[in-house]
Structure 1
Amino acid sequence: MDPKLGYSGFSLLKHAVTGNRRWPDFLAEPEMRASYDIVIIGGGGHGLATAHYLAANHGVTNVAVVEGGWIGGGNTARNTTIVRSDYLLNASFQLKHFALKLWSDLTQDLNFNVMYEPRGYVDLAHSDGELEHFTLRANAMRMRGAEASILTGQEVQHRVPELDLSGRKRFPVAGALVQEAGGVVRHDAVAWGFARSAAASGIHVFQNCPATGIDVKSGRIVAVNTPKGRIACKQALISVAGSSSAVAQMAGIDLPLSTINVQALVTEPVKPALDAVVNYNAGLSYVSQTSKGEFVLGGATDGYASYARRGSFERIEDVLARAVQMFPFLSRLRLMRHWSGSADIPMDGNAMLGRTQVDGLMINAGWGYAGFKATPAVGWCMAELLATGKIPDLVAPFTLERFAQGAEHDDAGIGPYPWLQ
């Protein structure tokens, strides 16, 4: 029960009798001030998490969050809700694993059910060489205190009975890396929970209020312009996912990244049939089933720069061909919805976090399609940076300076091909 909003069994019955017409506003529209200590550009999961932790961890509440659309309408809602930390390189693992720990307690932290479900993340290997690499990754995870296991043969079949491992396959399954703490989180609930918590602490959240300009004077940020007025500020954070390049250019900053379309789709709902997230690596296709019974499917990026946020039949066909090889029964289901989002990806496939060359202006960009799983950790760390001025240890490997220093973090071993990350 939340006494501020009156959530209880009694209130549900009362509002049902009155036709649910008297519920208080979930997120009230505040009066915009002329100035704030901090302006967060982007009201997605990362921006709202930063606002929440600014108030919760540091007592900083003179903050404005400006969102170009509505809360829960951007990339936070345009993903496949998967959370995990099965990374090889230490920097990526530590940040994602800290996020995984935060996910497990986030419902209690926000007093809002984000529906974290540790169903298990099953990463399929399609050759002995790939399985050897997975074994290396699993061992590295264990050494850092995470749970991970390697399955082969009938062990994989036992863990995911629905997998079709029979017959001759173009890409046979040699085994799998399994992280049981991995799973899914309800993306809408994440956005709403962080937004409600931030607003309740006194932080102002403005919907349908995009940043239209960033004023810089003598190398320092002085204001953020919006359709609702100019906001003077001491610090600002750009946290706008696929729009990072466009917003950064308002301050005269060119970011070393590409924006690429990522697609996902969902089937009609059926009875429970899959209790894990399964990832097919030969071309990439990942599948999970929602609590409503729908199968959520996603795959690789489109492979070319685009801000379109629209899908293509070619990518749908690629994802479905691999999904059906794993689970032939999916071929009998109808697709119900399809969506896409804009992923901003640097040349090493890893995020860019920290300061920019404009004093007081911070950046959180370059997450590609790995951003959702890191949401609470990013919010925690960026809040610490804004509140204290110090770069957190978890963020230090991902600063913009790494490109000038030759200290890139290429988790996938792909090199300068962002569409393959």
Structure 2
Amino acid sequence: MVLRLLKYGLRSDYPVTGDIPVTPTLKPAYDVVIIGAGGHGLACAHYLSKYHGIHDVAVLDKGWLAGGNTARNTTTIRSNYITPQGIAFYKEGVTLYEAMSEELDFNVMFSQRGQLTFAHSEATLRSFHLRAETGRHMGIGIEVVDQKGVEALCPHLNMDYGGALEVLGGLWHPDGGTARHDAVAWGYAAQAARRGVEIHQRTEVTAIEVAGGRVQAVVTNRGRIAAGQVMIACGGMNYDMALKAGVELPIRCYPLQAMVTQPVKPWLHTLVSSVSLHTYLVQSSRGEMVIGGGSDPYQLYSTRSTLDMKEHLAEGAVHLFPFLKNLRLLRQWAGITDMTPDYSPIMGESPVDGLWLDCGWGTWGFKATPVAGKRMAECIATGRVPEILQPFALERFERFALLNEMGATAASH
């Protein structure tokens, strides 16, 4: 990768290629139709075409490529979850991110700088010890650090000694990092398109035809498409899309807001979060302070931002780092999170034959992009759900085999 970049930079004539072709004319039928041209849908198309030889694939999106939650997240990547099943899944995701730039021949700007979560109470510290033991058993990098350890990792932090929010220790996850969200999507899209996958933007699915318990076709604003198999991966609209096929999912949708400040000289070299303050921060490659927190406490299909959340996030950020108080905000945004009762995703088969689900991601869909794409492609290509996905089956709610990841978020909901 480095030598190729150097050769490219020293050339007098730069080869220009159209990585992502213009939206083609819809064919009357495809082997696979993927609903949602976000990170998950594009990743699945890439793995289908590269590793399973399935090229007759159409990726549909009512908007534009990666214009939904893929463009509305805070780019955090980690595997420090609570359940062994969740840790194993996200651990594979981190491994795939580590090799993603080589895989896609596209610099996704993966920066593995670690995540530090603060404990402001003894109870939180005890829960961190449990998470650390489980994580080490599953083979991820994770440990509990004391106050001196927190200060060494984050010297600019307000420890609030003797205060109500004194930092007593932290959960250090050196495997954590960030990547450029649009680069991830474009990299997968370009690779899939080179292998014949068609990406159809401005193509809204209005109905999913089912007959005899099997998916038959999708109906769009540009015509009907017969499909051998269909995958739903459209973020906050997953509940509504599945309902078009007669499948009701245990999902409720909530806005999740974030914001960024004006850029400043790099100083924050880890991802930091506080569950007690419902706030997390990371400094982007452009120097902006990215600030996020928990989702809004009410159901809503909206990507608007609010003043009360802006004030809440600013208050948490300034408590942790008081010198940020004079920074100006550049922008604020929101995504639509599709939450399940146990805060774990729904992946694999649906009650409709040939209809596959990649849903219920809540606040951690971006970090799962490569592993979800890889494993869902395996489902579609083989007709079998791999072992790593089986715990996330829709039927777990009928069997009460829930995977509680509610406390695993960087800023608890």
TM range, normalised to the smaller chain? over 0.9
Q: Is the contact made by 2:260 and 2:329 (CA closer than 8 Å) also made in structure 1?
A: yes
Q: Deviations over 1:317-369 (max 9, x none)?
A: 11111111111111110000111000000111111111111111111111001
- Percentage identity across aligned positions? 40
What letter matches 1:91 in structure 2?
Q
User: Could you state the TM-score of these two structures normalised by the residue count of structure 2?
Assistant: 0.95
CA distance in 1, matches of 2:308, 2:328: 17
- Paired residue for 2:220, among 207, 221, 226? 226
Q: Deviations over 1:300-320 (max 9, x none)?
A: 000110001111111111111
Q: Is the contact made by 1:42 and 1:239 (CA closer than 8 Å) also made in structure 2?
A: yes
Q: Is the contact made by 2:132 and 2:144 (CA closer than 8 Å) also made in structure 1?
A: yes
Using the TM superposition, name which of 293-302 and 150-159 deviates more.
150-159
CA distance in 2, matches of 1:117, 1:320: 25
Describe the SS at the equivalent of 1:270: coil
Query: What's the offset of the Cα at 1:166?
Result: 4.0
Q: Is the contact made by 2:19 and 2:194 (CA closer than 8 Å) also made in structure 1?
A: no
Q: Deviations over 1:222-277 (max 9, x none)?
A: 11111222110111000011001111111111111101000000000011110000
Matched, 1:268 2:257: no
Paired residue for 1:18?
none
Describe the SS at the equivalent of 1:303: coil
Matched, 1:161 2:155: yes
Query: What's the offset of the Cα at 1:31?
Result: 3.1
Aligned pairs, number: 406
Matched, 1:370 2:364: yes
Q: Deviations over 1:161-206 (max 9, x none)?
A: 1111144432211101111110111001011001001101111111
Paired residue for 1:251?
245
Paired residue for 2:20?
27
User: Could you list the runs of 5+ residues in structure 2 that have no partner in the other structure?
Assistant: none
What letter matches 1:26 in structure 2?
D
CA distance in 1, matches of 2:312, 2:162: 19
Describe the SS at the equivalent of 2:348: strand
Matched, 1:279 2:265: no
Query: What's the offset of the Cα at 1:25?
Result: 3.2
Q: CA RMSD in A?
A: 1.8
CA distance in 1, matches of 2:383, 2:13: 48
CA distance in 1, matches of 2:67, 2:205: 16
Q: Deviations over 1:282-310 (max 9, x none)?
A: 04100000111000000000011000111
Matched, 1:216 2:198: no
CA distance in 1, matches of 2:77, 2:93: 9
Describe the SS at the equivalent of 1:8: helix
Paired residue for 1:294?
288
- Paired residue for 2:84, among 68, 81, 90? 90
Describe the SS at the equivalent of 1:76: helix
Query: What's the offset of the Cα at 1:42?
Result: 0.3
Using the TM superposition, name which of 379-388 and 244-253 deviates more.
244-253
Query: What's the offset of the Cα at 1:10?
Result: 5.5
Q: Is the contact made by 1:256 and 1:346 (CA closer than 8 Å) also made in structure 2?
A: yes
CA distance in 1, matches of 2:204, 2:52: 26
Query: What's the offset of the Cα at 1:142?
Result: 1.1
Paired residue for 2:63?
69
What letter matches 2:252 in structure 1?
S
Paired residue for 2:8?
8
- Paired residue for 1:195, among 189, 199, 209? 189
Describe the SS at the equivalent of 1:103: helix
Matched, 1:141 2:135: yes
Describe the SS at the equivalent of 2:305: coil
Query: What's the offset of the Cα at 1:23?
Result: 4.8
CA distance in 1, matches of 2:193, 2:34: 13
Q: Is the contact made by 1:351 and 1:365 (CA closer than 8 Å) also made in structure 2?
A: yes
CA distance in 2, matches of 1:364, 1:326: 36
What letter matches 2:285 in structure 1?
S
- Paired residue for 1:398, among 376, 392, 405? 392
What letter matches 2:242 in structure 1?
A
Q: Is the contact made by 1:99 and 1:373 (CA closer than 8 Å) also made in structure 2?
A: yes
Matched, 1:352 2:343: no
Matches within 5 A, 1:34-53: 34-53=28-47
Query: CA 1:420/1:132 → structure 2, altered by over 3 Å: closer, same or farther?
Result: closer
Using the TM superposition, name which of 100-109 and 279-288 deviates more.
279-288
Describe the SS at the equivalent of 2:79: coil
What letter matches 1:110 in structure 2?
L
Describe the SS at the equivalent of 1:208: coil
What letter matches 1:303 in structure 2?
P
Matched, 1:131 2:125: yes
Q: Is the contact made by 2:19 and 2:193 (CA closer than 8 Å) also made in structure 1?
A: no
CA distance in 1, matches of 2:388, 2:176: 20
What letter matches 2:9 in structure 1?
G
CA distance in 2, matches of 1:325, 1:25: 47
CA distance in 1, matches of 2:8, 2:412: 48
Paired residue for 1:151?
145
Paired residue for 1:79?
73
